[in-house]
Amino acid sequence: MLIRKVSDILSSEITPHSIYLNRRQFMAGAAGLLLPVSAIAALPAAKSPFSSTEKPNSRNDITSYNNYYEFGSGKDEPAIYAGKLKTRPWTVTVDGEVNAARTFDIDSLLKMKLQERIYRLRCVEGWSMVIPWVGFPLAELLKQVQPTSRAKFVAFETALRPGEMPGVARRVLDWPYREGLRIDEAMHPLTILAVGLYGEVLPNQNGAPIRLVVPWKYGFKSIKSITRIHLLEKQPPTSWNMANAREYGFYSNVNPEVDHPRWSQASERRIGEFFKRKTLPFNGYGEQVAALYRGMDLVKNF
Ligand code: MTE
């Protein structure tokens, strides 16, 4: 289902991004456009010390091998169908256990201090990628709405637009796609809202115009195309947990010692590589996040 043979990997997928960009600029020029394509969508971002030093996957890997079930369950379907999603106008409502609930226009969020964060993404299915996100800490947004002392959890919701999302006609999940974090996970400096990748605005298949990235958790926690963030006292229901609680827990911290009921989580295949590599606890971010779970049984709380 998810492993591609080396022979399936197109040479275009390993094109260095600078060459890719130059080629796009050349093509834009040849087509008589006034501005190079990359200049239209570029997002200036400062480098972050939280970035991984590993080599990022190619832009083509990152934008053509996706999970976004609102556009189908095939890895290639989001790239084919997500173009239909209208990402303007777009607002994100942040409400619930807060003193200053607010609805943010996406263009005001693009004016936040943006950083490039190169993070590993480990999918629960057994593959991984390294992705140069552009975004800002979720904590920066939450502080603006002033969480109350009762805010113990944060719930997230993806837009639900049957007319633009062909995949929601099938009830694979109970739409809208929902995710949740504990408030300390949400406020952790590694947790970001991403608005771009490779220095440009986020492609729709990666969750435009704004998606969550929680690098120490399995990829499905990183919910795409968010329209609502709701702070609450009780742990919120989450899509994959509702669909199959035995296989997908609320925490879903990357844990090589806790097998998925149908497969081992001990290793992973980096997209573009042939040999498997060992999966690291907390996806390699243990030094920064293990303290959040001190005293918790991470086999029970998987
Ligand atoms: N968010 C929504 N709304 N719908 C989805 O189907 N899939 C999740 C997550 N966020 C998903 C989603 C899964 S399973 C993964 S692995 C990541 O998105 C994949 O992110 P990427 O395609 O940007 O690599």
pLDDT digits (tens, 9 = 90+) for 89-142: 999 999 999 999 999 999 999 999 999 999 999 999 999 999 999 999 999 999
Q: Is the CB of 258 under 6 A from ligand 1?
A: no
According to DSSP, the residues that pair with 276 across neighbouring strands are none
SS3 string, 142-184, reads HHHHCECCCCCEEEEEECCCCCCCHHHHCCCCCCCCEEEEEHH
State yes or no: pLDDT of 2 exceeds 80.
no
Q: What is the mean pLDDT of residues 236-244?
A: 98
Where do the domains of the chain lie, and which CATH numbers do they carry? 23-293 (3.90.420.10)
Q: What does the pLDDT average to over 176-198?
A: 98
**CB-based contact 280:270 (threshold 8 Å):** no
Amino acid of residue 28: A
CB 201 within 8 A of CB 43: yes
Q: Is the pLDDT of residue 180 over 90?
A: yes
pLDDT of residue 41: 78
> For residue 16, which of 52, 54, 59, 53 has the smallest C-alpha distance?
59
For residue 218, the tally of other CB atoms under 10 A from its CB is 23
Residue-wise pLDDT for 135-168, tens only, equals: 999 999 999 999 999 999 999 999 999 999 999 9
pLDDT tops 70 at residue 87: yes
Burial (0-12, 13-18, 19+ Cβ within 10 Å), 46: exposed
H helices present in the chain, as ranges: 17-30, 37-41, 59-64, 77-81, 106-109, 138-145, 183-187, 239-243, 286-289
Number of H helices, E strands in the chain: 9, 13
Predicted pLDDT at 32: 39
Both structure tokens of 231? 């702070």
Q: What is the mean pLDDT of residues 3-7?
A: 36
Ligand 1 lined by 156 (C-beta under 6 Å): no
pLDDT at 5: 37
Q: What is the CA radius of gyration of the chain?
A: 19
Atom of ligand 1 nearest to the CA of 158: 3
The closest residue, in CA terms, to atom 22 on ligand 1 is 66
How is residue 124 written in tokens? 């629960």
pLDDT band at 283 (very low <50, low <70, confident <90, very high): very high
DSSP letter at 192 equals E
Ligand 1 proximity of 208 Cβ (cutoff 6 Å): no
Query: How confident is the model over 79-97, as a mean pLDDT?
Result: 98
Expressed in angstroms and rounded, the spacing between residue 10 Cα and the centre of ligand 1 is 23
How far is residue 286's CA from residue 231's CA, in Å, rounded to a whole number? 26
Compute, in angstroms, the gap from residue 117 CA to the centroid of ligand 1: 18
Mean pLDDT lowest among 26-40, 169-183, 208-222, 227-241: 26-40
Is the bond leading into 89 cis (omega within 30 degrees of zero)?
yes
Give the percent of the chain with pLDDT over 90.
86
Mean pLDDT rounded to a whole number for the chain: 90
Q: Is the pLDDT of residue 25 over 70?
A: no
**Ligand 1 proximity of 120 Cβ (cutoff 6 Å):** no
Judge whether 113 and 195 are in contact, CB under 8 Å. Answer: no
Q: Summarize the confidence of residues 277-286 as an average pLDDT.
A: 98
What is the position in ligand 1's atom list of the atom closest to the CA of 68? Answer: 6
Ligand 1 probe mutation, 158, 197, 222, 271, most atoms within 8 A of CB: 222
Identity of residue 44: P
On the question of pLDDT at 199 being above 70, the answer is: yes
Checking if the pLDDT of 30 tops 80, the result is no
Share of the chain above pLDDT 70, in %: 87
177 vs 6, residue with greater confidence: 177
